[in-house]
Structure 1
Amino acid sequence: MIQRLALSLMLAVVLPLQALGAELELLMFEQPGCIYCARWNEDVAPEYPITEEGRAAPLRRVQLRAALPEDVTLARPVNFTPTFVLLADGVEHGRLEGYTAEDFFWPMLARMIAAAQAN
């Protein structure tokens, strides 16, 4: 009886935590000399960590030619910089290739994050 009660209490705590969703992270693939990476660094990078998106999906930078981190699973290789890959528990959930302007970046990222959180 006590074991069942303990199990019930544990499940009452654990199941809601699982429902909170996957851990999100945004990978930015970049390389030296990338003018669009430099533009993103000017336009977005300073404010990224203090935005809702930045808090929901912290940024991790990856060099394009470097080995892929072991905790990352991509749907396909990255060929262009900048490429932004949204990870959900280490697995690719969405991707933005290139950067033109903030007006395009923020809404697209917000949609990807919302979709990842809905799953």
Structure 2
Amino acid sequence: MRNAFFSICLFIASFVLPNIGIAYELVMVERDGCHYCIRWKNDIGPIYPKSEAGQFAPIRHIDIGDTRGVNGVYKTPVIYTPTFILMKDGVEVTRMEGYASEDFFWGVLEMTLERETEFRATK
């Protein structure tokens, strides 16, 4: 009886879970003392997790020298900080290098998410 129940649960999950399984993440590669990283953390950091983009692609901070924190595959080495790498299931989709301003960051991020993923901003 338990095997039948388990089989039915797996069957149902096979239809439901494929749409849930896509996991996007925004990896911010930074360096101690990076002026632009500090600006991003002050300008964007507190509100990013609450934003539509932040809900869609939660952020993870990694120091450029900490290869132990990298759980994924990058297309090319990271040279500049900050570098924002959009990851899907641990593989780089695309990246944005640098930080100029709040407006520029949000504009480029939303455009990138809409181009590379199923994300659609509602505002």
Letter matched to residue 59 of structure 1:
I
1:111, distance to aligned residue in structure 2 (A): 2.5
| 1:34 counterpart residue number | 34
1:41-61 deviation digits (Å, cap 9, x = unpaired) = 111001011001111111100
Aligned runs of 1:90-109 on 2, under 5 Å?
A: 90-109=90-109
| 1:63 counterpart residue number | 63
Letter matched to residue 98 of structure 1:
G
The percent of aligned pairs where both chains have the same amino acid is: 37
Paired with 1:62 and 1:70, the residues of 2 have a C-alpha distance of 7
* Structure 1 gap segments, 5+ residues each: 1-5
1:13, distance to aligned residue in structure 2 (A): 3.5
2:62–2:70 Cα contact (<8 Å) kept: no
Paired with 1:36 and 1:29, the residues of 2 have a C-alpha distance of 12
- Higher relative CO (CA 8 A, sep ≥ 6), structure 1 or 2? 1
| 2:85 counterpart residue number | 85
1:17, distance to aligned residue in structure 2 (A): 2.2
| 2:117 counterpart residue number | 116
* Structure 2 gap segments, 5+ residues each: 1-5
Aligned length: 116
- Divergent runs of 4+, >6 A: 6-9
Paired with 1:9 and 1:58, the residues of 2 have a C-alpha distance of 29
Paired with 2:73 and 2:98, the residues of 1 have a C-alpha distance of 20
Normalising by structure 1, report the TM-score.
0.83
| 2:3 counterpart residue number | none
